[in-house]
């Protein structure tokens, strides 16, 4: 989603309240937690609502704990269970690692096979609990492909394209159909 202040990217999911004073345990969905959850950073709930400001963060047993301004007790923290947290980034910004992408960079890319056959366009990135999925609009309808290097070996943002591995049945309901 684009607005006046940038592109919204998923950075975490509130999993549960921690303690009695309003802290929440967050499942991190960013490779830049120190940046995205820094004190003073603003986070928005998905699908919308007012922003929260990070008051503090700390790690406890490999779990990120956040205190958000305005959350003062366990009941308020529990009300956030399952909330997807978004951060806003400049549209020209890219993740630090070369093989990482923001959703908005992938949406709209032309999708083809390794042999060069066009098969569709990336419509959406679905953030699942185990892995992310690319939702691809094809002539046969919407298909989801796990967003892993073995199945998506090449992404060329400059050319606006994404290449899928030549794997029978990857986008088709019938595994007999070969590319």
Judge contact between 20 and 26, C-beta under 8 A: no
Average pLDDT of span 96-105: 80
Between strands 42-46 and 141-146, the pairing is unpaired
Question: Measured between alpha carbons, how far is residue 111 from residues 14, 145, 166 in Å?
Answer: 33, 11, 12
Query: Measured between alpha carbons, how far is 103 from 110 in angstroms, rounded to an integer?
Result: 14
- 104-143 pLDDT tens trace: 889 999 999 988 999 999 999 987 777 889 999 999 899 9
Q: Encode 38-77: b = buried (16+ Cβ within 10 Å), e = exposed.
A: eeebebbeeeeeeebebeebeeeeeebbbbbeebeebeeb
Average pLDDT of span 152-163: 93
The domains found in the chain, sorted by start residue, are 2-89 (2.40.30.60), 103-164 (2.30.30.240)
Tracing tokens 């309240």 back to the chain, one arrives at: 17
How many other C-beta atoms lie within 10 A of the C-beta of residue 128? 10
Between strands 23-28 and 141-146, the pairing is unpaired
Predicted model pTM: 0.65
Average pLDDT of span 159-178: 74
Q: What per-residue confidence (pLDDT) applies to 3?
A: 45
Q: What per-residue confidence (pLDDT) applies to 178?
A: 42
Handedness of CA 84, 90, 95, 99 (dihedral sign): positive
- 85-94 pLDDT tens trace: 999 887 777 7
Mean pLDDT over all residues of the chain? Answer: 86
């Amino acid at each position: 989603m684009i607005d006046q202040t940038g592109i919204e990217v998923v950075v975490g999911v509130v999993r549960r309240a921690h303690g009695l004073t309003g802290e929440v345990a967050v499942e991190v969905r960013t490779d830049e937690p120190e940046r995205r959850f820094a004190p003073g950073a603003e986070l928005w709930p998905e699908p919308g609502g007012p922003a929260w400001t990070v008051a503090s963060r700390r790690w406890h047993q490999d779990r990120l704990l956040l205190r958000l301004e305005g959350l003062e007790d366990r009941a308020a923290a529990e009300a956030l269970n399952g909330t997807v947290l978004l951060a806003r980034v400049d549209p020209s910004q890219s993740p630090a690692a070369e093989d990482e992408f923001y959703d908005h960079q992938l949406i709209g890319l032309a999708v083809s096979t390794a042999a060069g056959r066009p098969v569709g366009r990336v419509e959406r990135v679905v953030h699942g609990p185990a892995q992310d999925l690319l939702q691809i609009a094809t002539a046969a309808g919407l298909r989801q492909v796990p967003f892993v290097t073995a199945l998506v070996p090449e992404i060329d943002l400059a050319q606006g394209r994404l290449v899928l591995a030549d794997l029978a049945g990857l986008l088709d309901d019938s595994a007999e159909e070969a590319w």
